[in-house]
Every structure is written in structure tokens, then in C-alpha cells.
Amino acid sequence: MTWDHDPPPGARRGYHHGNLREALMKAALDLIAAKGPAGFTFAEAARAAGVSPAAPYRHYRDRDSLMADVARRAFELFEAKLKQAWANGTPDPFTAFERVGRAYLGFARAEPAQYSAMFESGLSFQAFPDLHVAGDRAFNVLRDACAALIASMPEGKRPPVVMMALHIWAEAHGIASLFARGDEARRPIPMSPEDLLDAAVLIYLDGLGVRPKAG
């Protein structure tokens, strides 16, 4: 899911018939795509949205609060993509788990500006608790998927769910950030990012004794 970016570059975006907050969030995403999450000012976001420098203060106290709103929305979209991929573990947890990993990479590829807002803005979770909650909700999809796989293991050999989820998250995030994102920061590799992630997860799960069912 992508926010619309209809006005051409340099065009002023009136909000008399729309929503100032949405216009500012869209402008921020355009600027993130062009300059990175730390490469623009609050005044530039206002100018890109076609409003006065004072107008953003109706909704945001500063640039960080705007960025936090953009990142929170991005995490909500990310959570929805992961939930759709997990699909309650159907037809089986292992297959669904692979889909979740691919959805992670797919989001980084399709929504690089939102991905940057989520993970590269340097915002404090303590300062923006709603952002913390949104990030945790997305992570919990991965945690639930790990819990379903662990439940298939013999008792006494089950790793802590959160530890496994953090390991898988680190693998998925590293591959997404280096090789799968949809901007110029993507590094070329002689295989698809999906194949690389599938192989890494298979090796990890095999080490735990988790294997797909035969047939």
C-alpha cells in the first residue's frame, strides 16, 4: 500500500479541500525518498506540502513529531503486510513462515521511504510511545509465527520464543536493508534476496531441529 503522490515536483499542494496532516505526511515521504530521513527540515516539509511554515504546528510540535507519525503509519502498513502473509499459519506454519520473510523483503522493496522512516529516523521510542507500540505490533506477528514453529518441537528442546524471533528479525532486516530495498542503497548480489533469506532461515531452523514436513 502506497500513499498517493499526485502533484508534480515543485507543485504547491493546497489543503483547503483535503487534510493538512495527510499532506504533510505525504510531503515528508517524498523528501525521505529524495534526501533520506535526516535530510530535510520542518520548513521544507511545509513548503513541499504547499503550506506556510507555521501551518504544520497545527498538528506537530516539530520535525521529529512529524517523522514519528510517518513512521507509525508505516509500521501499521508493515504489520498488515506481515499479518496477510502469515494468514494464521495456513496451510502450515513452515510455509506461512517463509511467506512472512518474503513479505518483509517485499515491503522494503516496495516502500523504501516508509522503510527508512521506520528504521533509520533515529527517533526515541521513549519520546514517541505510539511509535513504540506500532513497532511492537509488527514484531509480534513475527513472534507469533516463531511460537507456532516452536510448538512443533519436542518439549525440552524449544528455544525461547523472543530469542528466536529476534534472530529471525535480524536476518530478515539485514538482508532487506542491504539487498532488497527499492532505492539506490540496495547492494547487488548474485542471487535474489528471497533465496538468500530462505537459505539463511533454513540453516537456522535446521540447527534448531525445525524442518518442513515431507510431502
Enumerate residues 6+ apart whose C-beta is below 8 A from 78.
Answer: 107, 114, 118, 138
Q: What is the Cα–Cα distance from 175 to 25, expressed in whole angstroms?
A: 27
User: Does residue 199 carry a pLDDT above 50?
Assistant: yes
User: Does residue 7 carry a pLDDT above 70?
Assistant: no
For domain 68-182+189-208, which CATH number applies: 1.10.357.10, 2.40.50.140, 3.40.50.150, 1.10.3720.10?
A: 1.10.357.10
Domains in the chain: boundaries: 19-60, 68-182+189-208
**Residues 58-79 pLDDT 10s:** 999 999 999 999 999 999 999 9
Q: What is the Cα–Cα distance from 139 to 75, expressed in whole angstroms?
A: 9
In this prediction, residue 214 carries a pLDDT of 61
In this prediction, residue 5 carries a pLDDT of 42
User: Does residue 13 carry a pLDDT above 60?
Assistant: no
Identify the burial level of 8 via C-beta atoms within 10 angstroms of its C-beta, where 0-12 means exposed, 13-18 middle and 19 or more buried: exposed
Long-range contacts of 48-57 (CB under 8 A, 24+ apart): 48/13, 49/13, 49/15, 49/20, 49/23, 49/24, 50/7, 50/11, 50/12, 50/13, 50/14, 50/15, 50/23, 51/13, 51/15, 51/20, 51/23, 51/24, 55/20, 56/20, 56/24
In this prediction, residue 215 carries a pLDDT of 53
Average pLDDT over residues 31-60: 95
* Percentage of the chain modeled with pLDDT above 70: 90
User: Does residue 185 carry a pLDDT above 50?
Assistant: yes
* Percentage of the chain modeled with pLDDT above 90: 83
What does the block give as the cell for 105? 523483503
Mean pLDDT, rounded, of the chain:
90
In this prediction, residue 18 carries a pLDDT of 58
User: Does residue 10 carry a pLDDT above 60?
Assistant: no
DSSP 91: S
Centre a 10 Å sphere on the Cβ of residue 105 and count the other Cβ atoms it contains. Answer: 21
Average pLDDT over residues 112-140: 96
Which numeric CATH code is attached to 19-60? Answer: 1.10.10
**pTM for this entry:** 0.88
Average pLDDT over residues 68-93: 97
At 189, the pLDDT band (50, 70, 90 cuts) reads: very high
